[in-house]
A and B are shown apart, each in its own frame.
Chain A
Amino acid sequence: MGNKQTVFTHEQLEAYQDCTFFTRKEIMRLFYRYQDLAPQLVPLDYTSCPDVKVPYELIGSMPELKDNPFRQRIAQVFSEDGDGHMTLDNFLDMFSVMSEMAPRDLKAYYAFKIYDFNNDDYICAWDLEQTVTKLTRGELSTEEVSLICEKVLDEADGDHDGRLSLEDFQNMILRAPDFLSTFHICI
């Protein structure tokens, strides 16, 4: 308890609890994880809300993300300005969305952002190619990749505009029950 009070004020903790899907203990655990990433950068006192960002290189080297093919995208999507450098808030946001408790729609929304590589609010064929390449480590040939993209679009593109909108994506996620358990990072 004593430790908690030096890091966050009571109000801060409560706000974090209300804004994330974490308990107090988990928030503290996440904070220490965050602090561990850059001990010389992150102060142990957050009561004055210091403006600290941990660079992407450190975020991406977390064991949870290190081998994730989408780590860069995840960091970009959750960081404030899309460069992957994260404040504590961003960090908590990220794990909150990736936690077990987050509802499907929230997860789907961020998953969409992650898969939308060029940030045009649509998952277009190019985004899909990126995704497939990342997923398969480039083991598929170009023809296979484009065939797959075609199939995916064919399957999920509800309004036939040649790309997946957020609605299309959510619609599809609804049909993929595994999504909830797989779009999840243990902390």
Chain B
Amino acid sequence: MSAYRNSAYEEDPDYPDYSGSQNHTQRYLKSPGPLNNSDEPSTRSNPYPAESRTSPDYLGSLAEPDYPGSQSNPDYPGTMSHPYSAGTDYPKPLAEPEYIGSRRNPYQPGSSGDPDYSQFQRNPDFPGSKGSGNYTGSRINPDYLDSLGEPDYPGAQENLNSSGPRASSNHPGSRRNPEHASPRVKAYIDSLGEPDYPGAESQSNHPHFFGEPDYLRAEDHRNSPNFWGEPDYPGAENGHDYGSSEDPEMARQMLSRTSSVQPPFHYEDVSPLGVLGENDYPESIEMKSVGMANPYPGAPGNGYVNPAYVGDEGPGPAYGDPPLSGHDWLSSPQGQELIESLIPMTSRDRIKAIRNQPRTMEEKRNLRKMVDKEKSKKSRRILELNCCAQCLNSISLAYRRFKNNLSELLNSISLWQKTLKVIGGKFGTSVLSYFNFLRWLLKFNIFSFIVTFSFIIIPQLTVMEKNHLQFTGLEFLTGAGYFTNTVMYYGFYTNSTIQHDNSGASYNMQLAYIFTIGGCLVVCFFSLLFSMARYFRNNFINPHIYSRGIAKLIFCWDFTVTHESAVKLKQKNLSTEIRFLANHSNPGAVLLLPFVVSCINLVVPRFYSMFRLVERYEMPRHEVYTLLIRNIFLKISIIGILCYYWLNIVALDSEECWETLIGQEIYRLLLMDFVFSLADSLLGEFLRRIIGMRLITSLGLQEFDIARNVLELIYAQTLVWIGTFFCPLLPFIQMITLFLMFYVKNISLMMNFQPPSKAWRASQMMTFFIFLLFFPSFTGVLCTLAITIWRLKPSADCGPFRGLSFFIESIYRWIDTLNQTPSYLWVVWIYQNLIGSVHFFFILTLIVLIITYLYWQITEGRKIMIRLLHEQIINEGKDKMFLIDKLIKLQGMEKRANPTLFTLERRDLEQWGPQHVRQHDAPRDLRFRQSFQEDNPKA
């Protein structure tokens, strides 16, 4: 695109007429002359429309700033190129919405006089337009209409032939015309030399920057209003020149192509916003941010390049704002619109929207201030009488403050901030994810502990009997003996109602036990579900477009890594991987093998470790996945067998207090697991390092096995969840375990490991871990406990449920007692009609299924939408390429027609492009201008 603009700039001299003329002033002074021949057919060779037509995309934007002539138009350039600065420099006010329409006033009369013009406007079946929907979408834009209408000027068509973007620069005129060349150079230097471009300064810079070189001429034209007011802008001579030298047929063909391409281009502008606005996505936040992406300052061809467009019809005005700095931007129509759109939002959404603005702090702060001001103004005006709303307002403010404080408080207890940072800096996000997971589990256990401690253990402690068993110290390992008669195990808890001093307050231990454990599990369930959903949403937005390409390898540098050697290692690994990917394009095919191998390995677990030594995978990820799958099956089978043993053998043997026995067993399992982990970390990994460093140096340092370690955590957590019922203190034990584990692992990591060379996908891993924690682990726990509570008979002599035939019977009995107290009848009603009723669950399931189905359908629809949009992008690319080819061809023809032209390499042109773009995009990039000068060696 920059190429086009660039050429547009230099286009001027292409007119044979002008190439001879020494400056633009002459040119314009000259042009009023032919004005008088308003009847001349060649009036249509008016250069302005021609300019806009030659640009295949963004007509509005292209037509403008580069074109020196256009700058001399007091109305036209200012608003098009910088609507904001224009406000001060040009009489035409910015905010005027009709502006775009009136912008082309000088030409309008001519165009309306042309029968084809109107026809074009109204013809919905525009040739080659990509789809009527698109077309209508873009038709609202007057800019667009203008540009469509213009191609019909015969003269303009002729112009087109001579004004191909590439050819233009070849034209000697561009070199010869000193007046023309100098502004370009000057503007460029200006833009670079300007060290600072903030705020109000930009206003003075803009005109200088763009307008100055031609400014005098603009003055000229202002002084001759007749010239502009004239309906037909005739360039009689030019018209003749062009007409004679070009092939009209070719031009026509070209034009129809051009215009057919336009709809998609405009569509591109509109679509994301329009789609968003219309389809009313439920997760508006996620989608909004997608829409937001479009008009970002840098978004080429969007709000900026074509400000008229976005500001005009863009359905997403909230984000459709071209960037200007500071107050400029806020006082601009777009800024105003943004403010307007922010006002009705809730304060939470508003802050979110402000935060998500890709602007500098100062701009955001000003925006926030203005929105607040407007809001208070409005609320004062509207809600003066309505004290209720004011009340709500202050409540929402208070709530916000409270939430801020709360999140601060929660943040302040966030553990291991510094340690985690060091780990991330040295080992990258992947290893960090293990420790984050550990911390996350720790939080779970802390929560469980607090709940059980306060609702089960403390009440029990108040009625504790004397423990007659001897404490030997061996109990720490076995978990039995002395501990059996403590609050640690199920068997110790009383089945009575605790009551002190006849104060009236009573505490039913049975209910407390079952509700506490149940509540714990419910909270765990939802927090697991939500975090799983969040991870899925973030990491698998659209799995079917997920690619394992090279591009993201390059752009996903791990910014967390700060340690020097780790950075070096990472760079080294990356180069190997990039090399690998560059040479092997189909890594997906080998995925099958590890999967089959892993299945076989499951059957023959004894060969498990040996297989690991033998197996060689091309992609490191495959090895990881195989390992994971094996480990998971191993852990599942271990826990599954244990559960079967506990529930079907231990529980039915009706030994004395089997719940306590199970609790002890789980305790032992956990303890053993912990001891082994400790030993492994302190001894095994240490020995491995000694061996790797001293004895067999070829082995080198080992890498941290994230998969194995995480699975150990999941395994332990599963045991804790199962065990909480039998041993309420288990979360506490696990809490300590995890706490110690963090430090042990941390020390071991720092001493014995090197950063992973494998390409770990940390975020996906985390999603996968949480999913694992949810699916086999937590759901398994729920099933186990459900079986225990509904099916098993509690032991007769111990625990809060002694004497009952089922654990759940405590609930039944409770309901029965409630049934007799009239004030609690609603509880009974809820129980009977909702919880105890099959019909209710049936209906609930049905509703959930329907909702799921609907969502699924929406997802499917969106997938199609995404595919279509993707195709659209590809088509646009094709159109663009086609156009460029055409233009090159046309230039070739022109060159033949005019052999004196010398050739400028296309590449040169491309090089000029970006720099040139920078000149008139300066307002959008104020902050980067300086760096451009320093950075770009090409400059």
Contact = CB atoms under 8 A, between A and B. Distances in A.
Q: Taking each of A139, A165, A175, A180, which has the highest tally of chain B beta carbons within 10 Å of its own beta carbon?
A: A175
A182 B560 contact: yes
A68 B354 contact: no
A54 interface: no
B874 A159 contact: yes
Interface residues of A, number: 94
Interface in B738-784: 761-764, 766-767
Contacts of B549: 151-152, 155-156, 172, 175
A31 interface: no
B589 to A, nearest CB: 18
B219 interface: no
A112 B297 CA distance: 12
Given A166-B293, A185-B560, A178 B578 contact: no
A18 B348 CA distance: 10
Nearest to B293: A105
B526 interface: no
A14 B290 CA distance: 27
A113 B926 CA distance: 13
A186 to B, nearest CB: 4
B551 A156 contact: yes
B421 interface: yes
B563 interface: yes
Contacts of A147: 582
Given A20-B355, A98-B559, A182-B558, A122 B545 contact: no
Contacts of B877: 157-161
A87 B542 CA distance: 39
Interface stretch (B26-34, B361-369, B689-697): B361-369
B593 interface: no
Contacts of A155: 547, 549-551
Contacts of A177: 538-541, 546, 761, 763-764, 767
A111 interface: yes
Interface string A140-166: 100010011001100111111100011
Given A118-B914, A136-B571, A158-B870, A178 B556 contact: yes
Contacts of A118: 914, 932, 935-936, 938-939
A91 to B, nearest CB: 9
Interface in B257-294: 289-290, 292-294
A178 B938 contact: no
B928 to A, nearest CB: 4
Interface string B547-566: 10111101111111111100
Contacts of B198: 80-81
Given A159-B880, A182-B558, A139 B575 contact: yes
Range class of the B interface residue count: 35 or more
A34 interface: no
Nearest to A92: B361
B294 A167 contact: yes
Interface string A108-143: 111111011111111010101001100111011000
Contacts of B578: 132, 135-136, 140, 144, 148
A25 B411 contact: yes
Q: Taking each of A175, A178, A185, which has the highest tally of chain B beta carbons within 10 Å of its own beta carbon?
A: A178
Contact of B881 (A64, A109, A160, A185): A160
Contacts of A79: 927, 931
Q: Taking each of A157, A176, A180, which has the highest tally of chain B beta carbons within 10 Å of its own beta carbon?
A: A176
B551 A104 contact: no
B2 interface: yes
A144 B574 CA distance: 13
Contacts of B878: 160
Interface in B908-939: 913-915, 917-918, 921, 925-932, 934-936, 938-939
B559 A18 contact: no
B378 interface: no
B550 A184 contact: no
B914 A120 contact: yes
A80 to B, nearest CB: 6
B538 A180 contact: yes
Contact of B411 (A23, A93, A159): A23
B239 interface: no
Contacts of B930: 81-83
A176 B555 contact: yes
A23 B358 CA distance: 19
Contacts of B552: 172-173, 175-176, 178-179
B361 A158 contact: no
B557 A18 contact: no
A186 B878 CA distance: 43
A182 B567 contact: no
A174 interface: yes
B554 A158 contact: no
A166 B298 contact: yes
B873 interface: yes
Contact of B421 (A19, A70, A90, A186): A186
B176 to A, nearest CB: 28
Interface of A: 15-21, 23-26, 63-70, 76-77, 79-84, 89-90, 92-93, 96, 98, 103-106, 108-113, 115-122, 124, 126, 128, 131-132, 135-137, 139-140, 144, 147-148, 151-152, 155-161, 165-167, 169-170, 172-187
Given A26-B411, A155-B549, A181-B762, 20 more contacts: A16-B361, A68-B562, A80-B927, A81-B930, A83-B195, A89-B360, A90-B360, A109-B293, A124-B914, A139-B575, A140-B575, A157-B877, A160-B874, A165-B300, A166-B300, A176-B552, A180-B538, A181-B429, A181-B766, A186-B421
11 contacts: A23-B404, A81-B197, A81-B927, A103-B356, A119-B935, A120-B914, A136-B572, A136-B574, A155-B551, A180-B539, A182-B557
